[in-house]
Amino acid sequence: MRKIHGLLVLSIIFSFLSTDLIAQLPVSKEATLIESVSSAEVMIEATGIYKSKQKKKKKAKKDVTEKGVKKAIEDARKATVYFILFGGTDPLITTPQERQKFDEYTSFFFDINNVNTYISFEETEFRKKVKIDGGRGIRVTKRFKINKELLTKDLEARNILEARAELAEAIGNPFIMVMPAVQRGESPIDLLRTNPQIKHAAAVVESYLTARKYDVIVPEQQAALSDLSAAQQSLAGREEDYAYQLALSIGSDVYITFSGTLEDAGYGTKKYAMAVRAYETTTARLLGTETGYSQGRQGEVMVSIEEAMNDAVDNVLSRITNYWKDDVKRGIQYKLIVNISTDFDEDQIEDIQFAFMDVVEEIAKSSKENIVTDQTLDYIIWCDPAKYDKSSKVYRKIKKAFKDAETEGTLRRININRKMILLKVDYE
């Protein structure tokens, strides 16, 4: 009997708590991203709904007249926060773990006083205000500017999102290189130097990245590529991918390419369509791609470029962040390429390969074998940041282990940067 009473009390408490949580969430959850105003703020058009709980129609109508607008506006404000947290293509809360942690703080984040702190601007007038359910409810639509950065920091402060600062402390922020996408044979650096529109687009991305405290690498020295030429033979099929080569040679973690065109938008206006792609440098794996469009304008191309880029880059960046959060859990990633001289015979080559494989097993928390041929070994390795926070440390370990293996070859380095270790094995 006591058990039954206990269960009853628990179920009542639970039902109250869950009702409270539901009450905090917005009713409408309808919102649209209008534009990314800056790296910190977004403009969102959100709808708020209020439905009276009064059963009698007359009382319900009176209730809606008295407090409907105020409550619906509050609901719209909550809907904007909800949208940033869970809506759109790139919400802040992405994993079930994050959602689980968030649920503990639902009442905090959807408390209207807290919601108001994220709203930096609210339109005075309504986009729409419509009575629904025969006057028993009301629906309003307004535009709000939300400080997404502040919301993100609040999520990080409650460990719902892993703080970028903590990530940076562990293994550093990702190095990101930005460059225009080019046709085969074209030099992105030349394009950056000569085309003001391309340069402006790159500057917008770089501005975005630096505002969010990413490390940005600007590829302006074509000479950086020269060292890579010796390894070109190993980059099968990618020798024409300039961006990939540049990123590798510079040692960025991620590289972003962008391309854009001006399109006719009617009434003598042009709109800019921007495509932004983010790649993992070591594998050239596509992490995210997004398109952004400006509004149609007469002239003011630079403004259109900025608007289109802002539209696209925000989502791409959130995908980079998600990738980085996943990747760092595995350790620090390096690309390891070894060129084996053709002077070795088959057995010697095998000895060398086995020696390398043993070394990789020893130093890497995990690894991925990309290419193994008689002349080339291509690996992605993830190392413990506590032991191998620099590529030179990895190199030293490999060199030592290779020497200990007593093969016929001598290991030398071709190029080492923070992301890539390019080695060769020569016949003594």
Site for another protein in 206-265 (CB under 8 A): 265
Choosing from 96, 183, 223, 267, the residue that interacts with another protein (CB under 8 A) is 267
Residue 296 contacts another protein per CB under 8 A: yes
Distance CA 422, CA 417 (A): 9
In the complex, the smallest distance separating the C-beta of residue 80 from another protein, rounded to whole angstroms, is: 13
Site for another protein in 366-395 (CB under 8 A): none
Choosing from 298, 342, 346, 347, the residue that interacts with another protein (CB under 8 A) is 298
- Residue indicated by tokens 């859990």: 329
Q: Candidates 290-298, 331-339, 361-369, 415-423 — which segment interacts with another protein by CB under 8 A? A: 290-298
Residue 301 contacts another protein per CB under 8 A: no
Distance CA 248, CA 231 (A): 11
Residue 123 contacts another protein per CB under 8 A: yes
Q: Candidates 88-96, 99-107, 127-135, 170-178 — which segment interacts with another protein by CB under 8 A? A: 127-135
CA-closest candidate to residue 421, choices 358, 333, 345: 333
Distance CA 102, CA 109 (A): 9
Residue 135 contacts another protein per CB under 8 A: yes
Nearer to another protein, 172 or 296 (CB): 296
Distance CA 271, CA 353 (A): 54
Nearer to another protein, 76 or 179 (CB): 76
Choosing from 25, 119, 132, 262, the residue that interacts with another protein (CB under 8 A) is 132
In the complex, the smallest distance separating the C-beta of residue 308 from another protein, rounded to whole angstroms, is: 13
Choosing from 51, 78, 271, 419, the residue that interacts with another protein (CB under 8 A) is 271
Choosing from 113, 223, 266, 428, the residue that interacts with another protein (CB under 8 A) is 266
Residue 162: burial class (beta carbons within 10 Å; 0-12, 13-18, 19+): middle
Site for another protein in 11-70 (CB under 8 A): 34-35, 37-38, 41, 43, 65, 68-70
Nearer to another protein, 80 or 282 (CB): 80
Choosing from 56, 59, 127, 329, the residue that interacts with another protein (CB under 8 A) is 127
Residue 231: burial class (beta carbons within 10 Å; 0-12, 13-18, 19+): buried
In the complex, the smallest distance separating the C-beta of residue 123 from another protein, rounded to whole angstroms, is: 5
Choosing from 158, 199, 212, 297, the residue that interacts with another protein (CB under 8 A) is 297
Site for another protein in 60-99 (CB under 8 A): 65, 68-70
In the complex, the smallest distance separating the C-beta of residue 93 from another protein, rounded to whole angstroms, is: 26
Residue 226: burial class (beta carbons within 10 Å; 0-12, 13-18, 19+): exposed
- Whether 44 and 146 have beta carbons less than 8 Å apart is answered as yes
Question: What does the binding site for another protein look like in residue numbers (CB under 8 A)?
Answer: 34-35, 37-38, 41, 43, 65, 68-70, 121, 123-132, 134-135, 139-140, 143, 145, 265-269, 271, 295-300, 303, 306
